[in-house]
Amino acid sequence: MRKITSLMVLSAVAAVCGWGMSARASNYNLSVVGAEPLSLFLGTGNTASVGNLLFTFTGFASGNTGGNVAPTSAQIAVNAWNFPATSPAGEPGIVFTSGLWSAPNVGYVDSVINFTVTTTDGSLITDDYLTAAGSAPANSQWKVDETVSPLSVGGTLGIIDVNNISGNTTSTATFLPQTGLTIQKDINVLNSGIVGQGTPSITDVEQGFSTVPVPAAAWTGLSTLAGLGVMGLLRKRARA
């Protein structure tokens, strides 16, 4: 009779539960590992972190017209970014880059990226700072629109955009402190058909978030409630 070892038992449990070394999700600290393709995080369970922020990517779509080439998720890089414009300066964020956010032909290139952002230290998020770099000839356009929503709750906290038409290259949504955010980012480049005036393009899209610690009063309240629960349990045991 074959001897059953602990390793064999663990292997059987892994098979039943769907575990596997190759399928194990990982967190990538972008400040350490540098740029990674967006495809690394889509449908894999992998997450990205920068400072005290944790990013989970939940969806992606990309389209084009006029023979322009839209980037795939493997052709979009995600990297750490520190924002001098946040308050306080240098708070963590991320930057998206791709060489294919460009429309040399009449038509457009469009990418939509969905993700959530939470904190790793229990702090709360109070704003979303968006900026981008691009260029476009007259009457053509580059723009980045973003819808900011509470995490797992209906409603919208803000809709922000940056674009070359208005000359607005930075935009910020501020709101009451949130445990997390759901972000839908739409990156669009439009060639309106003016010949000989250059190609509209976006080189990078950056984003930062300000966070604040949970107020001490809240922790005090939670500690008090936890203490009352323990005392109640001890009284029940004493009466038993």
Averaged over 54-74, what is the pLDDT?
97
Position 209 confidence tier, pLDDT thresholds 50, 70, 90: very high
What integer pLDDT is reported at residue 23 of this predicted model? 63
Give domain status of residue 221, yes or no: yes
Averaged over 47-71, what is the pLDDT?
97
Strand partners, 110: 63, 188
Token representation of residue 141? 């356009």
**Lowest mean pLDDT across 13-27, 47-61, 112-126, 226-240:** 226-240
**Lowest mean pLDDT across 6-10, 64-68, 212-216:** 6-10
Give domain status of residue 11, yes or no: no
> What's the CA gap between 137 and 145, in Å, rounded?
20
| Run of H or E residues at 8 | helix 6-17
For 116, the domain range is 22-239
Say if residue 196 is exposed, middle or buried (CB neighbours under 10 Å; 0-12, 13-18, 19+): exposed
**Quick one: what percent of the chain has pLDDT higher than 70?**
75
- Closest alpha carbon to 61 in 180, 181, 187, 216: 187
Give domain status of residue 120, yes or no: yes
Position 15 confidence tier, pLDDT thresholds 50, 70, 90: very low
Give domain status of residue 9, yes or no: no
Residue 197 in this model has a pLDDT that exceeds 80: no
Residue 167 in this model has a pLDDT that exceeds 70: yes
pLDDT (tens digit per residue) in 87-141? 456 678 999 999 999 999 999 999 999 999 999 999 999 999 999 999 998 779 9
DSSP code per residue over 183-224 = EEEEEEEEE---TTS---EEEEEEEEEEEEPPPHHHHHHHHH
Residue 86 in this model has a pLDDT that exceeds 70: no
Give domain status of residue 41, yes or no: yes
Position 13 confidence tier, pLDDT thresholds 50, 70, 90: very low
Give domain status of residue 44, yes or no: yes
Residue 95 CA, distance from chain mean position: 10
Position 4 confidence tier, pLDDT thresholds 50, 70, 90: very low
Number of domains in the chain: 1
Residue 153 in this model has a pLDDT that exceeds 60: yes
Give domain status of residue 52, yes or no: yes
Q: How many residues in total does the chain contain? A: 240
Alpha-carbon dihedral 88, 113, 75, 51, rounded to 10 degrees: 30
Residue 65 in this model has a pLDDT that exceeds 80: yes
What integer pLDDT is reported at residue 183 of this predicted model? 97
> What's the CA gap between 41 and 56, in Å, rounded?
7
- Closest alpha carbon to 74 in 32, 30, 45, 41: 41
- Measured at the CA of 153, the angle between CA 179 and CA 170, to 5 degrees, comes to 65
CA distances from 211 to 91, 120, 160 (A): 8, 11, 19
Strand partners, 111: 62, 187
Residue 94 contacts residue 78 (beta carbons within 8 Å) = yes
Give domain status of residue 4, yes or no: no
pTM of the model: 0.79
